[in-house]
Amino acid sequence: MMELTERKLKILQAIISDFVENAEPVGSRTLAYRLDMGLSPATIRNEMADLEEMGYLYHPHTSAGRVPTDRAYRLYVNRLMDKYELDQEEKLRIRKELRANIRELKKTVQHASELLAEITNLTSFATLEEDMRDISLFLQGMTRIFAHPEYSTIEQARSFLEMLDEREPLTTALAERPDGLAVTIGEENPQRIVPGSAIITATYHVDGHLVGRLGVIGPTRMRYGEVSSVIEYMSDNLDKAFRMIEGGKDAGEHDED
């Protein structure tokens, strides 16, 4: 049985990074040029063939390159993903915008989903959960899917938009996600979610109680590290902002990140 050697992991990480950036199947010559490992294209081809046999890559019929599978993205998120650190300007913008209407919970949550869609260029959502029977869903950036080649055909775009339009099953699926940061990829999602999609969510709280989730839905080919960090930071700051109001502190004051 083949094992994931350090070399295979580096090659897989490079393939995922390249594919996420360019949305094109990645070939051995491209990797030989970009990897600083002193490997020939032939050696890389052999390693890619192994990775394909192990279920981490697949080979589109129209290309000599390889594309990551859902299993590869899961491995990437669990073991290979670099932690993305937001810069101070991004953090300040998020804190300021989230606290602009902090005394109106629904408006703040809706604005958070709008801001998330703008920052990530993905379809975003926020839920506000009074209880499991009374859940508000705010969806933003639905047309942003057209910026991604995964939804470039009419059929693909229609399937995605129909999924978003069926609010009740989507809302139920989101409400059943675990507390904290959660990343589900492709087939890990419920059947009602369009194949080839990934969802990232984080929970936020008011007075210590979980009241909703903030997140994005888009193609499995997404910048998981960057998007996860943005969502975590935004949900953390929703928590902080609501605590400030409860404690009587001016929401306009700037605290440390």
- In order along the chain (257 residues), what is the average pLDDT of each group of 10 residues? 90 95 92 85 93 94 86 96 91 88 79 95 92 85 92 91 91 91 95 92 88 95 96 90 62 50
Please, which residues have CB within 8 angstroms of residue 230's CB and are 6 or more apart in sequence? 86, 90, 94, 116, 119, 120
Radius of gyration of the chain, Cα coordinates, nearest whole angstrom: 20
Dihedral pair phi/psi, residue 64, rounded to 5°? -85, -10
Model's pTM, two decimal places? Answer: 0.91
pLDDT, residue 48, reads 94
**Chain center to CA of 176:** 17
| Residue 21 structure tokens | 């950036």
Helix %, strand %, coil % of the chain (to 5): 50, 20, 30
pLDDT of residue 246: 58
pLDDT for position 252: 46
Instruction: Enumerate domains of the chain plus CATH numbers.
Output: 6-80 (1.10.10.10), 88-246 (3.30.450.40)
Q: How many residues does the chain have?
A: 257
Q: How many CB atoms lie within 10 A of CB 210?
A: 12
